[in-house]
Amino acid sequence: MEFFLDTGNVDEIKEAATWGIVNGVTTNPSLIAKTGRTQKEVIEEICSIIDGPISAEVISTDKDGMMKEALEIATWHKNVVIKLPLTEDGISACGELSKREIKTNVTLCFSSNQALLAAKNGATYISPFLGRLDDIGHDGLLLIEEIRQIYDNYGFLTKILGASVRHSDHVRRLALVGTDVATMPLKVLKQLFGHPLTTSGLEKFLSDHKNSQ
């Protein structure tokens, strides 16, 4: 499983990059807005830190607008992935970009039927929102399992990118069902390191070492 960091905060990305476990970054208009900078500035700096897929989202809601934005964004760096909403226009734009061999990440996926549409039009990534489904009492993991089965049934190459990850157990469950990528905020990535027995064990080792000197 690949780990993507879901943020527009460059300082967070720099910190996580030192661990050697971050494969890419996902952003969205809300995350970019928090930086107070332009999307181009943020994306270009992220690309200088992480050598992997960096998702940048279009703002337009019509196909022509999406295509115009996407073709511009794609010139920023070879690692840029165009993020598109799962709408009729978004899926149509996905198909056009796929023909041009421009990588895409179709976002705001909440059903297996939607994921099937994205795969049929050659999406590089599909982003089902695990946490948001859990928030309204639905089983987000069940959706991931359904998409995995459908993609395996037909040999689709679209990668499943588990999004809206709320905590470390989401990551564990995504890994168990064969999700290709998990994208998460820095706080969740840090949670993966933690276990009370690791902490207490290290403290014991250090204490014993100190007492033996």
Q: Which are the catalytic amino acids? A: 83
Tokens representing residue 98 in the block = 């796929």
Decide: residue 198, CB within 10 A, 0-12 exposed, 13-18 middle, 19+ buried: exposed
Q: What is the rounded radius of gyration, in angstroms, for the C-alpha atoms of the chain?
A: 19
Long-range contact list for 195-203, CB < 8 A, 24+ apart? none
Helix axes of 112-120 and 88-99: crossing angle, nearest 10 degrees:
30
CB 129 within 8 A of CB 110: yes
Rounded to a whole number of angstroms, the distance between the first and last alpha carbons of the chain is 43
The number of C-alpha atoms within 13 Å of 168 and in the hemisphere containing its C-beta is: 8
